[in-house]
Amino acid sequence: MSGEVAIPEDIAERFEDSLEREHRAERDLLKALVKSILVSLPIMIGIFVLISAIAISDKTEWYVWVSLGVGLGVIGALLLGALAGATLNAHKLDDVDRITAGLPPDSL
């Protein structure tokens, strides 16, 4: 008795093809995450600087509310940019899973 498992050649080729598609989809997802974070960064910084200026500009020095707005804007851009990038490109990973299962990709 042997401890080796025989894998048909067709399954091995399909697995390699599926793995390559998955790596391609993950690289596209990473690029989309970086782009969406970079796009949302100045927008979120502007929004949070404006909010902190309205809230505390008359009670403290200018560098306090500007730095608070910039810090919160960076955190907001990281969170919301990553969410937007992942949401907009999640269908690519779903298409890879559908193709791997032998189903046609979703055309929506």
CA atoms of 66 and 48, how far apart (whole Å): 9
Interval 17-73: pLDDT, tens: 878 888 898 899 999 999 999 999 999 999 999 999 999 989 999 999 999 999 999
pLDDT at 14: 75
Of 88, 90, 2, 93, the residue nearest 39 (C-alpha): 88
* pLDDT exceeds cutoff 80 at 1: no
List the domain boundaries for the chain.
9-100
pLDDT at 92: 84
